[in-house]
Structure 1
């Protein structure tokens, strides 16, 4: 399933309506067993430049808005839905991913980029701090020191640096090439053990805040669950029968 941000004339700047539609679509994807992989992308020459500035202008007309409420109520549920998606999420990121758009890109499990891609932690440029999970996700992607530097400077991270720093996983010269390879990656993931992939994401997210004994216990608990899954039992049977396993995602 492909989810597209579609305001190309505004570089896919996020409005109240778009945020609601995106969240509704993600909730549907979470619940639909037939969907085994998601691709999140943007139309036109940008992934997303984040919050729509014109919408903010309206919000500031009478008084300073409650930005905390906006983030808590409209942005955080989206990134939370991505990070708790029970199936893998690929970000096909072409052009700039800035501000809240950067946060959405960081919440994807696998990031496919083009030579025209840039990641822009632009929050500081408007006197704000990273939000929508960016402080958490950027630090884990880049390490504390580099994440702090790019957040303070607010300068674009180029496609080359994104690959060198581990912020992106696949890079292609053109959008057409990236789209073809993204479909191949998505098809491969969609045929895999979906439940195990979701457990892997949660295990890696949670393990960073746990002690060593708690990590070992968590891993054992996860294996308890996965050991009872159809896909694990199918993989064992396929190995013994010398055939390719047919995973059902559960």
Structure 2
């Protein structure tokens, strides 16, 4: 399809979605929300796509909400920002988190506001050395949304999360890696190749098993140890019945590389 605000490509069982409003630092308007939602929902159900990569065009990854897309009239009633969150941002985060395959975020530049938290919702984040993360909400008198108040303290701890959210300071990519907020950093010119290699690797892995790992890790923070042990038992039962598990065992016994099909 011909999209106006995103670029889409599928190759080697990997779906690449690039936010494409570079003049606005890939900030979200309604059209971008609708196009991103359409593509991600379709890929979530497509067994031929076994890994997803989200990135941005131009010099930034995503600056969050396009404030120009919201008319704030000082003489009118106050806007209901919760409506936008409920309709667009919350479903987007849920789609990424519940995607039954790995989601990589390639942060090529600044990730600010909702853009930073969309990145944190992804399973693996790799950022260019020149990239940065900014919880910019406090500068507008707002609260971190798009899962920011959930992902951030779990990634970096309460003290750092509080400082980042209350101060809105720019966090360089290498510092974000050092404190455990993201997985890795790449030289700017190497980011695309590094992400592609990782995505193609994940696309060849046992997809059902990876989806169960995602679910287990996301649910662990809400469970007691006993509840998590029970979940692990149930998930292992599902994984053990997959064709990929049988292939993995056979490949190990035969001392060859496995040929997983994601089934």
User: 2:67 maps to which residue?
Assistant: 53
- SS at the partner of 2:91? helix
Match among 15, 18, 24 for residue 10 of structure 1: 24
Structure 2, unpaired ranges of 5+: 1-14
| Per-residue Cα deviation, 1:14-51 (whole angstroms, up to 9, x for no partner) | 00110011011110110111001010000000000000
C-alpha displacement of 1:95: 1.0
C-alpha displacement of 1:62: 3.5
User: 1:208 maps to which residue?
Assistant: 221
| Per-residue Cα deviation, 1:187-218 (whole angstroms, up to 9, x for no partner) | 10000011111111110110111111111111
Task: Determine which structure has the larger helix proportion and give its number.
Answer: 1
| Per-residue Cα deviation, 1:40-94 (whole angstroms, up to 9, x for no partner) | 0000000000000111236777332111111011111111000000110110001
How many residues are paired up? Answer: 249
Answer whether contact 2:244 2:260 (CA < 8 A) is retained.
yes
Q: Superposed, which structure 2 residues align to 1:92-103 within 5 Å? A: 92-103=106-117
Poorly superposed stretches of 4+, deviation over 6 Å: none
Task: Determine which structure has the larger strand proportion and give its number.
Answer: 2
- Say what the alpha-carbon RMSD is for the aligned residues: 1.2
- SS at the partner of 2:111? strand
Change (3 A) 1:59 1:137: farther
Answer whether contact 2:27 2:63 (CA < 8 A) is retained.
yes
Deviates most, 53-62 or 99-108: 53-62
Structure 1, unpaired ranges of 5+: none
Change (3 A) 1:53 1:240: same
- SS at the partner of 2:61? coil
Q: TM-score, normalised by structure 1?
A: 0.97
